Structure 1
Amino acid sequence: MDDWRPGTTRAALEARGALFAKMRDFFAKRNVLEVDTPILARFGVTDPAIEPLRLMPSKADPSALFLQSSPEFAMKRLLAAGSGPIYQLGKAFRDGEIGGRHNPEFTLLEWYRPGFSLEQLVSEVSELVCECLGREDGVVIRYNTLFQDTLGFDPWELNATELQRVAAEHLDTGSLNLDYDGWLDLLMSHVVEPTLVDRGVVVLCDYPPSQAALARCVDRDGRRVAERFELYVDGIELANGYRELLDAKELQERALADNVRRRAAGQEPRELDFRLVAAMEEGLPDCSGVALGLDRLLMAKLGADNLSAVMPFDWTRN
């Protein structure tokens, strides 16, 4: 038995440390404050695509406790309290995410920029990633354009049934019973994303409104789009960013809609963090924010094809 040993090399450990130092230097030069928020919280996210790790209740505290899937809620409370631009390097957790590019525990870099447009944040994220990887600037592609180029249709013009037919033409969908966003996500991950493998750094923007999560929606070129982007390197998603939703009432409405989808999918509904609602009612500043997976960034930097090669102890060695 030698699974007590780390799964990665000394060189990879040094690269991880150097990457952390580069991140801190990058933000120090831009006067972005490093913060540290709790990993443990009483609320998980309502997003059906994310399952936080839930802890067993104790005799001392029988209430539900979660390991956070992101520091987003706590960081937004800091922003509402007047923190100014902030970033955080730390651990995040998601249940059921195990594989070559997924681990239940991972390292996340998340930052928020008051006063930044989404375009400004895209530029900053691209600059950071390209600087870390020694890559040239990436290209920006609209979500509908990528689908049209790859599959020959505009997602805004099809419904769930039509998306199911398209998926069946390309994949073995078996007895899958998905909604509109489920079929889009399936096509994205299994058909569209693989076309990005040889395209270097790519930023995908202007998502369908139903995939806004906590991003604002705007009218652009005759259609409603979410002010959201994802950054890919060689076909691997590294970052997900938003021009942040500011309306507390809309936040609550989206949480209700999320829970309808969760129940329909057999998932446990989640209560929305009332302190986040209160912070947004007090006034979240106009800002854009992004989360970037550091382990995947290190994979890209070292040319690794599995997270286990860049994590000292991935899930198989815990």
Structure 2
Amino acid sequence: MPREERNRGALSRIASKALSSVGALTAVGAATAAAAFIETRAFVLHEVTVPVLDPGTLDDGQDAFTVLHISDLHMLAGQRLKQNWVAGLDALEPDLVVNTGDNLGEEQAVPAVLRALGPLLRRPGVFIFGSNDYYAPHPVNPFNYLLGKRNKPSDVDLPWRGMRAAFVEHGWEDATHRRVDFATAGVKLAVGGVDDPHLDRDDYAALGGAPNPEADLAIGLSHSPEPRVLDEFAADGYQLMMSGHTHGGQLCLPGGRAIVTNCGIDHSRVSGLSRWSERMWLHVTNGLGTSKYVPFRTFCRPSATVLRIVERSS
């Protein structure tokens, strides 16, 4: 066989192998993306126990005060599966519902959010808002997220005022820069919250001091768990801090190991329950949604959490 033909044959085989490799990589990438998209619909309910109440606080026969923590719905109008799953959480009969923001994923989503939360709005609840209650999502440079750089919010305002009015009309308390005191299920609550620190909208001084000392449980709320804000709540004696925002890292390594937190807390606190100080617990939920421009999750299923608040050991 002439040398020229042998060279052409070798080049043809190399090209064929290269195309096969590219095809295999493309198939793997497509399968990974499909799995990551499917995971956004694989909702899960977590349960944690928080021993913060003084002995004797709970009524006889009451083993825990239950708090349902939901956050980061990033709801789209057509996400019926998510709406039905969230509405079904009412069957848990929580004593209190806490919503730490980022309910909206687009301008048309307020009816969908109210459809999802409808049964829960009939229960005692408190809420604060996050950046994606105020401003619509928009395409951003994903490398900024990986590098820990903050993306500017979009110029599109979301209809948060109408959503807030519906929450309040149904009886939920807006804890944004307010201290709210009330009792439910035999437990006296003091709840204080700040606006989203991720947008530098927080003003802790507006709370006007420490929580009511007569309360059985003092809960602080902040959409983004920024350390400077957590320290302020802890210093004033709040016992439990509740936040969202992190999505648990969203695109995680196996075992749920977060690559980024999208805020100032360390990776070990990106989701779940942890100690922030000697007196204050921190619960960060990884949330129930994603931006519609990044509809993927890996090793980080969307979730809500039931916190069982129990008495400390004597």
Q: TM-score of the superposition, structure 2-length normalised?
A: 0.25
Pick the structure with more helix per residue. 1
Q: TM-score of the superposition, structure 1-length normalised?
A: 0.24
